[in-house]
Structure 1
Amino acid sequence: MKRLYLNITLILVNLYLLLVAVSPLNAAILIKDSKTDLQPFLVYYIDDIGSRDIEEIHRLDTTDWQVPENQQVNFGFDERFYWFKIELSSYQNKQYILQIAYSLLDNIDLYVMNKNGILQSYHTGDLYLFNQRPLNHRNFLFPLDMKKNEVQSVFIRIKTSGALQLPIFIWDKNEFLLHENKMSLFQGVFVGIMLVMCLYNLFLFFSLKDKSYLIYVGFVLVTALFQTSLQGLTYQYLWPNSSWWNGQSIAVFAVASLAFAIYFTISFLKLEKGSTRLFPLFRLLGILAVAITISNFFIPFHWGINLARSLGVIVPPLIFSIGVKCWLKGNLSARYFTIAWFLLIVGTLIMVFTKSGILVSNWLTENAMAIGSVFEVILLSLALAQNFTEERKKRLVAQENLLTSERDLRMANEKTLFIQLEANEKLELKVHERTIELETTMKQLSEANTMLRNLSARDGLTGVYNRRAFDERFELEWKRAVRSKSKLALIMVDIDHFKTLNDRYGHQAGDECLKKVAEVIDHSFNRPGDFVARYGGEEFIIILPEVHKEGCTFCANRLLKNIESLAVKYNDEILNITASLGVSVESPDYNDSPHFFIEKADRALYHAKKQGRNRVAFDSDDVENISNK
């Protein structure tokens, strides 16, 4: 009996160790496929008040992280700060694309780290301007450079007022382009159908003077805007420079579509004449929907979206029930109306349950409302056509003596409709072709601008930033330090006896020394805010924001030692290099001059050279502030 108990215990321990070994908390994901869903491998940490930074999060123990349930990141409407972590590795040197396939996250901070520290950091979200995104796309894309067998940790910090979902994938670039082509086709079909329905029924409104068509056109247009806003398309193409409106528009369009739906129901089903008890209720709901739509321009997004959700729970089922009632009374056009609203309700419920974390997030659940909307607008258009047919039959029965004229009018209408449909198809084709041309041109312009910006900001010889880039960055850091009342440090570096080296060994040797020194300086300062630039000739300059004098002294002496230990091999000769460093640390004020700050660093550099070179000197005249090697 004891032996059996011992065997069972050993089996359970082995199973536990196996589960721990394959847990997301303990293994890096090896990227092998062209597309990998990373949700099953994510772990998360809740920072209730958002007080922790990336360094603190990086030091968290493995037991502090949690694994999402059902391998899906969907926490519903939660405004707390969430940190997510995943470790990745690749079997080859390759650039991947990290995609967060949800465009309604307010704030995203993404950090890529390896054993040496932070490699990349990005700050984006739908509260940022669209051109601030790392890549120009409706979703959030991040380039990820992977080296063979290197483990990189990705940390993501999210704060949002909407639904907190994180459908995250890592793609091969070519595979992602193929995927985007398919998605663009789906979105193009959706937008095309909506536009065709709008133009078609707008034409019918001008022809028939029936306000139901005009209300229907408004409903289709607002529904299309709502759906494309959910997908991030309107922010990309219509208002990329208005993050405020992008945040408010979803709540505005959501309630506006309900308002149009209410008034369309009143007009189409003729509730004012046929249902005296329900008409006051629908009129009150219509006024309420219009009032909420207007208020959504001014109130916070989370209030507006909650009002939209509340109204969305009431209005569609009510419209569906009145449609069933009219259908049972023999209204044939009401059957299309009822089926249309049933499909939209199903799609909407699937989307709401997905956003609330009840259903699993995938392509079908995320686009269920869009698919339901397409079927709805088509069926409502058929309902309008059916309603029109019934009215026409009644007129034919009442006016038998005008039968010939009625037939001629119908043939003319059919011919006109055929012409309109043909014109719509041509227009849709032209719009599609023009959209492709514009997308291609914008992509080329974006790539060219990025290349020009990088070329103009870098020094051609050393690869570090040039003087112009320094001037721009220094002005920005100066203003930030003045505003935040924080410390700002400048370190000016000058290679000792550089002219003598140039005269003795030639300019090629001097250039090689400049490259090596620039490389040492660039590797010595790797905080996210540190900035290294070539100031001119053999001089370099470093900006260190938010650093105290002690930390700056440590960094300067470390750099001095790194340069002194540098041995440059040129034509079988070893060139030993030293440098003099001038340091200035200030807490800038509005009345201070940034140029005087640079002069103080330059004066400190002069002191260092005057005291014998190969040393660090501060901007004070006190000799004790000169630090020997």
Structure 2
Amino acid sequence: MASDKIIIDDDFQSIKPLVFKYLSSDESLAQIQQNSDSQWRSSNDGTLNLGIQPNAIWVSFTISNQTPVNKTLYLLLEHPLLDSVRLHQSHQDSITTFAAIGDREPLKNRQIKDDSLVFVFNLDANANDVFYMKIVSQGNIKLPMSLWTPEQLLQHKTKRNLITGLFLGFLLALVFSNGLLFMLTHKARFLLGSLYIACLWTLITVTFGLSYRYFYVDVKWLHEKNIALLFLTAAILLNFLAEHLLELDARFKSLIRIMRITFVVSLLILLSLPWFSYATGLHISLFSTLVNLVICSGVSGFLLVKKQTYSKWILLSQLSYLVAIIFSIFIFNGKDHNLVSMSTLFMNSFFISSMVLSYLLILQFIDRRDLKIQRQQALLAEAKIKDNLQLETIKIQQELEEELESRIQEHTFELQITLQELEEKNRELEEKNTLDSLTGIRNRSYFDKKLTMEFRRSHREQTPLAVMMLDIDFFKKINDTFGHLAGDDAIRFVAHTIQTSLKRPSDEVCRYGGEEFAVILPNTDTEGALLVAEAIRAQISEAQVHTTAGIINMTISVGLFSDIAQRNHEPNQYTALADKALYQAKHAGRNQVVFYDDTAQRD
């Protein structure tokens, strides 16, 4: 079998990097074991970055324990963003398969919770075991592997964790200090600075596999999208913050327009990222972030030439983040050979960007405070000069004010009386305009306004609103038989009956038109509206109406609709649906109450 042999002797402590052979294939382990030597490729120096691959990657190597004792070894894969990694250990005729670990595998599968992907295995004395590792990932497949004894790994991790912990702690201190300054000063720029540095901190923890220590959430969707979202979010925050800090005036309208267009386009791309696959979303995010930073850095560079205040600090912060983005593009495309380590570059870039930005925020705050103090002092000096001039004119002003005050009081009193009379007239006129001249109840115009108002209240308070449409049965026959004066008496009787049947001040009856009436019942469900409607119908049906043409009997038909107002409804829908119910009552024989069943219509 094609594999690179790793010798374990009494002096063995660690191998870094670990040299191995690999091939790209979606075949099973049994099929992989049958492949010939020519199908395998060597990793040479053991630092392999294949970029984004469509197929799984198989890795093979042999470990030979040339000591007479069993060995416990730790295999480290120091690229925690791989989706799934499964290790198979072939010992003589048996295969030991380890649980798959990776960025999209459950955290509980890991033998050791670490920022790297770690497999712990035992190697028998004088054994020659072949190892096969299957790597599946939508992101770039980078395989910096190493082999350690437990003691050496502990020393290695202790030093690295100390450096990383100090760096992350420093970034968190900047996040909290800017957040505290925001709470003390209420200046939005400190909040934006805190959010930007928090994005960089989160990006470091996610990229280096440290999220399990701070905020690990076992959500597959979030694991797929977090890096792409964080890269572009940080750029958008830096873009927005740069515009605030540069304090561009009317001379730079075109630059302001460029930065805002860049901000809006980047924001729209950010909102679309969750709908793309991991690889596509990451490419879009990195490219968009690169374009955003290049444009904003170009603006800052132009302003630096124009000697705009603070532009050099903003440009330095932008360029630091830009370097990290360019390096990330190389990494995720497998082009990072002969470059510095990812952790070193990210830490340095993010440290410079965060420090410069925090320094600039404080510097600008101090400058603005000093400028404000200078302006206040100038205003105080000017105020003293004005006070001396004002003292000379106070006596004259007081005399004039007393005379004017007496005149103003007289005119004000007269004006108040006139306005009061005008308001009373307006109220009387408005009241008349909302009353029906025949019945004395509200008219159609008032009904429309009242319905709109109650519709909004129903939606706001989520309470049912009921609307009833009432119509006198065979009214034309009454007019033809008893005359129009008797018809008017009948209309007045129905209006009075409905009005006296409504017990709450919020209930309202209106003459909708001709012999038709409309009733608004706020906070009333279908059952309550049916009770009111049935009481009105029964009272009119049993009554003997005295008219100019004598006593007549008549009935009414009622259609009603009740529901909680929804965003997709319109107020006139209540009238339309109640009118449909009235139409059903007419066709069902009149002299009855029918309600419109909205649930039945939806079913």
TM range (shorter): 0.5 to 0.7
State which of 45, 53, 57 in structure 1 corresponds to 2:32: 57
Change (3 A) 1:330 1:297: same
State which of 215, 221, 243 in structure 1 corresponds to 2:198: 221
- List per-residue Cα deviations over 1:163-194 (Å, max 9, x = no partner): 11011111111221222222222222222122
Partner of 1:310: 287
The residue type paired with residue 286 of structure 1 is F
1:210 positional shift: 2.3
In 2, the alpha carbon distance for the partners of 1:181 and 1:70 equals 25
The residue type paired with residue 54 of structure 2 is E
1:169-318 equivalences under 5 Å are 169-271=146-248, 273=250, 275-318=252-295
TM-score by length of 1: 0.56
In 2, the alpha carbon distance for the partners of 1:27 and 1:402 equals 83
In 2, the alpha carbon distance for the partners of 1:185 and 1:295 equals 38
State which of 27, 30, 34 in structure 1 corresponds to 2:13: 34
Change (3 A) 1:121 1:206: closer
1:24 positional shift: 8.2
Is the 8 Å Cα contact of residues 129 and 242 (structure 1) preserved in structure 2? no
Partner of 1:125: 102
Change (3 A) 1:236 1:384: closer
1:313 positional shift: 1.8
Change (3 A) 1:99 1:28: closer
In 1, the alpha carbon distance for the partners of 2:284 and 2:171 equals 26
In 2, the alpha carbon distance for the partners of 1:362 and 1:113 equals 35
SS of the aligned residue for 1:149 comes to coil
- List per-residue Cα deviations over 1:255-308 (Å, max 9, x = no partner): 211111111111111346452112222222222322333333343222221111
State which of 84, 87, 92 in structure 2 corresponds to 1:107: 84
Change (3 A) 1:272 1:65: farther
SS of the aligned residue for 2:253 comes to coil
SS of the aligned residue for 2:266 comes to helix
In 1, the alpha carbon distance for the partners of 2:326 and 2:210 equals 22
In 1, the alpha carbon distance for the partners of 2:380 and 2:203 equals 44
The residue type paired with residue 75 of structure 2 is L
- List per-residue Cα deviations over 1:522-559 (Å, max 9, x = no partner): xxxxxxxxxxxxxxxxxxxxxxxxxxxxxxxxxxxxxx
In 1, the alpha carbon distance for the partners of 2:108 and 2:308 equals 52
Structure 2, unmatched stretches of 5+, are: 382-603
1:249 positional shift: 1.4
- Is 1:72 equivalent to 2:51 in the alignment? no
Partner of 1:486: none
Partner of 2:137: 160
Partner of 2:431: none
1:25 positional shift: 4.6
Q: Over alpha carbons, which structure has the higher Rg?
A: 2
In 1, the alpha carbon distance for the partners of 2:370 and 2:215 equals 44
The residue type paired with residue 87 of structure 1 is T
1:310 positional shift: 1.0
Is the 8 Å Cα contact of residues 84 and 136 (structure 2) preserved in structure 1? yes
The residue type paired with residue 62 of structure 1 is D
In 2, the alpha carbon distance for the partners of 1:272 and 1:44 equals 59
- List per-residue Cα deviations over 1:129-155 (Å, max 9, x = no partner): 111223222321101211233111111
1:325-344 equivalences under 5 Å are 325-344=302-321
Is the 8 Å Cα contact of residues 17 and 45 (structure 2) preserved in structure 1? no
Moved more, 359-368 or 185-194: 359-368
Partner of 1:81: 56
1:397 positional shift: 4.2
- Is 1:45 equivalent to 2:23 in the alignment? yes
Change (3 A) 1:70 1:272: farther
Is the 8 Å Cα contact of residues 140 and 331 (structure 2) preserved in structure 1? no
In 2, the alpha carbon distance for the partners of 1:36 and 1:69 equals 14
Structure 1, unmatched stretches of 5+, are: 1-22, 405-629
Is the 8 Å Cα contact of residues 238 and 318 (structure 2) preserved in structure 1? no
User: Aligned Cα RMSD in Å?
Assistant: 2.6
- List per-residue Cα deviations over 1:178-233 (Å, max 9, x = no partner): 22222222222222122211121122223333221111111111221112111122
Is the 8 Å Cα contact of residues 86 and 154 (structure 1) preserved in structure 2? yes
In 2, the alpha carbon distance for the partners of 1:129 and 1:180 equals 23
Identity value in percent: 17
Is the 8 Å Cα contact of residues 74 and 165 (structure 1) preserved in structure 2? yes
Change (3 A) 1:145 1:361: farther
